[in-house]
Amino acid sequence: MMVDKELSDFKTMVAGVLADQWGTATSAESGDLGKLWQVAAQQGWYELASSNAVGAVVAAMQELGAVACPLPLFDGFVAVRLLTGNDEVIADIERGALRVLVTHQEEVSAPEASYLEGAAHASHVLAITSDPARAVLRPITSVEPMPGLAQPPWSNAQLGEPVLSVAVDQSHLNEAMSLMRLGLAARAMAAARRAQEMAVEHAKVRHQFGRPIGSFGAVQQRIASCHIDLGAGDHLLAEAWRGCEAGAEDAGLSVAIFTEHACSAAPRVQFGAHHTLAATGYFEEHEAPWLFRRVHADIVRLALYPSTQGDVADQLVELNVSLPAFATTAVGDEFRGVVREFLAANPSHMGQLILADDHELTAKVAERGWLGFAWPLEHGGREATIAEQVILNEEATYHGAGLVKALSSVTLLGNSILWHGSPEQKHKFLPLVRQGKMRFCLGYSEPEAGSDLASMKTSAVRDGGHWVINGQKLWTTGGDTADWVWLAVRTDPNAQPRHAGITIFLVPMDTPGITVQQHRALSGEISCSVFYDDVRIPDSARVGEVNGGWAVITDALAGERITMGGIAAALHRQLDDLLDLVRTDVAGTVGRRGSARRKRLATVAVAIQATRALVVAAIGATGDGNGGGRLEAPMAGVLGGETAEEFGEAALDILGPRGALADTGHFEYALRLSVMYVVGGGTNDVQRGIIARLVGLPR
């Protein structure tokens, strides 16, 4: 195994060797794979199995994918693992004297093997059979090309008599199939990533209709969607190979999740890149056609290595397991245990997903000092880590604890008051937040300013030591019960840029001139239109500098990186609840292996795990203190919202009519609520635009 620096150095070395010995993806038709195999053996790439360096082999496969090279590196890795104890054979594999390909066959005595990559340069095939479970090493006697999609073409090989046959136990059989699938999927995703990188660069410089095509909304949306697929894939892949290296019990499920993601994401990204490159990337002097072949060839070859444990849905349903947990810090693991123990001893009675607070539970949480526990000691906190903040939100959401408002008051108001509030405001409001008694609503959106907050028109005009506010706010959730409104208004109508003239006020909702009009949302939740007619407030209600409200808003919205962990946790809980129902009647819900409903279940399970992976990445980047997480956060938000909608529909499809009944669970409610995850806090279309700009596309 390698540490991060060693892994990075190894990946750089592999890239350098490939640049010298192979070239770019355009070499797929003419590259000397035999010579590269020899150099790879000399460089020690085939010795990685002896040190269990799964991550290093994955890193090499990614570099191979980027240049559309089919070097069968994982074949050698798996062969060495299966032939443990046969030292002479292993030594020959490691030094390149025995060039082995791994395939799966139904019968031990099968005289040939098909769809092989690199067979013209190989010497042997290691055929794995499941019944009986054996690994049989046989020489290649002749090779016949199989022209088609793959380039270089696959081959059909005639095999000689076995030279070695070993029994394989079930765990090693499972591992071998998982590793072969992992390598192919990793290479396919890397090829798609290279195509995406070229598409992004093309979109920056290619002009149509007098402007870069990267400024067109459709192109930005497509590139952002592809970037989400790739980002989620990166983190799912890392979890998979780390689990394999550690020998984790759920490593097989992690690999299945990543490969399932790659099966849909890699071709989708590759097609997206071609659509952006257009005719430029359609001709073979460009790398894209060769990457296209590599992506689809690797994905279709996954079928040659069937998972002995079944696909994602099979494992979740039949093994009675949940989605694998993500690694965290020792402090985080310890705190998660404490929170779970507390919630088990103090169950909430508010019901799953209900967006209301359990006042008794809130008081107990406040007594433990968990509200605002990341704050400095002088303000009642204990400087808790961001991991602990995320864990509290996740566990509260997963267990249906009625702490939604109390926790959001910390992240959306308390932190901003701590950073921008006056001493008097800190003295008055921070204790309320710590006690879970800060009943508030957000006054952001307006009739002409939803996601585009810089366009807000509600005004505040200074009148001596006071301000006079006029305007209207929409979609003010909780406006009917709140004591305070966190209100963004325009104090300089001529400011440039537009967001420069905004100021934040914390206003009592019973102030004369405020009128509240209630609306019931699709979820059943009450949201409000709030009208401000000559509302007069003192300057002491202002939070932060005059015309400095954008910084306050930005800091408040940064808290969403903590609360979005709750969205992922809500999806995780919904999946676990669905699995509980499915397991009581497998035949009547998802049916046998290979059914369309099992496929639907697997798809949403993978999307939920991908969302969780992006959340973990966003939080980890934020916790580094270097302004990280700017890209992962909106990616997690987009994927989480769309996964919520997809899951809601899938649950009803799997359960049938009873899934639409309130007493079956919370599935129909979750479906109704899911729309808000997409449109609330900035629509996914807007978030994709942000992602596009973060990867370098022009406005």
Q: What tokens appear for 139 in the block?
A: 């020489």
Q: What distance in Å separates the CA atoms of residue 253 and residue 310, rounded to the nearest whole number?
A: 9
Using pLDDT thresholds of 50, 70 and 90, give the confidence band for residue 195.
very high
Cis peptide before 431 (omega within 30 of 0): no
- Rounded to the nearest integer, the mean pLDDT of the chain is 92
CA distance 270 to 225: 12
What is the DSSP track for 356-402? S--HHHHHHHHHTT-TTTTS-GGGT-----HHHHHHHHHHHHHTT-S
pLDDT higher than 60, residue 352: no
Q: What percentage of the chain has pLDDT greater than the value 90?
A: 77
Distance CA 562, CA 683 (A): 19
Report pLDDT for 682: 74
- Per-residue pLDDT, 178: 96
Mean pLDDT for 290-313 is 95
The predicted pLDDT at position 625 comes to 44
Q: State residue 287's pLDDT score.
A: 98
Judged by DSSP in three states, 521 sits in: coil
For residue 168, the model assigns a pLDDT of 93
What is the Cα–Cα distance from 646 to 244, expressed in whole angstroms? Answer: 30
Instruction: Report pLDDT digits (tens) over 125-174.
Output: 999 998 888 999 999 999 999 999 999 999 999 999 999 999 999 999 99
| Predicted confidence (pLDDT) per residue in 78-106, tens digit | 999 999 999 999 999 999 999 999 999 98
Report which listed range, 143-157, 448-462, 552-566, is most confident: 143-157
Buried b (16+ CB within 10 A) or exposed e, 152-171: bbbbebebeeeeeebebeee
Average pLDDT over residues 441-467: 89
User: Is the pLDDT score of 44 beyond 70?
Assistant: yes
Report whether pLDDT(326) > 60: yes
C-alpha torsion 181→187→189→191, nearest 10: -150
The yes-or-no verdict on residue 677 having pLDDT over 90 is no
Rounded mean pLDDT, 674-694: 87
Tell me the chain's radius of gyration from C-alpha atoms.
Answer: 28
Contact 476, 527 (CB under 8 A): yes
- Buried b / exposed e across 642-667, counting CB within 10 Å, b at 16+? bbbbbbbebbbebbeeebeeeebbbb
Q: Which residue has the higher pLDDT, 265 or 108?
A: 265
Pairing of strands 542-543, 502-508: antiparallel
pLDDT in tens, 597-655: 999 999 999 999 999 999 888 877 655 444 445 788 889 889 999 999 999 999 999 99
Lowest mean pLDDT among 36-45, 116-125, 193-202, 396-405: 396-405
The yes-or-no verdict on residue 41 having pLDDT over 60 is yes
